[in-house]
Amino acid sequence: MVTLDKQAKDEISRAIARAEARTSGEIRVHLKRRCGADTLSQAIKDFEKLGMHRTKDHSGVLIFIALESHAFAILGDRGIHEKVGAAFWDETRDIMRDHFRNGRLKEGILAGVESAGRKLQAFFPRQASDRDELSNTVTED
Ligand code: CA
Ligand code: CA
C-alpha cells in the first residue's frame, strides 16, 4: 500500500512549520486510505472532524489526500475562501498533481505545502500575535 513513513511525515511537519512562519494560515495535511467519488465532500467532513473550523480567523487550510483513490483536495476555511475563492488553489493543485502523476507522493505534498504557504503569505501575512493554532503533525485515518 502506498503511504508515508514516519520520517516522511516528520519532514512534511517541518515544511508546514516553515510555511506557517510566513502566514497566519494554518496548514494541515491529512491522509486517508480511500474516499468516495466526491473528494471535496469528504475533505469538508474531515476538515470539521479535525476541528479545523475553530481557528480564530477561519484561516485553516486542509490538504486532503486519499491515497488509494488517487484523489486529493485543498480546502481553505471561510476566512480564506471569502477573500480569494477556490481558483486560488489551482496553481498549488497543479504542482501537486504533477508530482503525484509521477509517483512522487512525499515530494508532491512538500511542494503543495510550500506553494500554499507562499500564496497565503500575500493575503494572510503572519501576525505578531500569531500562534500555532492547529498541530503541524500529519494525520491519517
Ligand atoms: Ca498560526
Ligand atoms: Ca499549525
Could you list the pLDDT tens digit for every one of the 141 residues in the chain? 578 999 999 999 999 999 999 999 999 999 999 999 999 999 999 999 999 999 999 999 999 999 999 999 999 999 999 999 889 999 999 999 999 999 999 999 999 999 999 999 999 999 999 999 999 999 999
* Interacting residues of 8 by C-beta distance below 8 A, sequence separation 6+: 106
Q: How far is the CA of 109 from the centre of ligand 1 (A)?
A: 19
Q: Is the pTM of this model over 0.85?
A: yes
User: Which residues have their alpha-adjacent CB atom under 5 A from ion ligand 1?
Assistant: 130
Angle at CA 103, nearest 5°, toward 27 and 36?
65
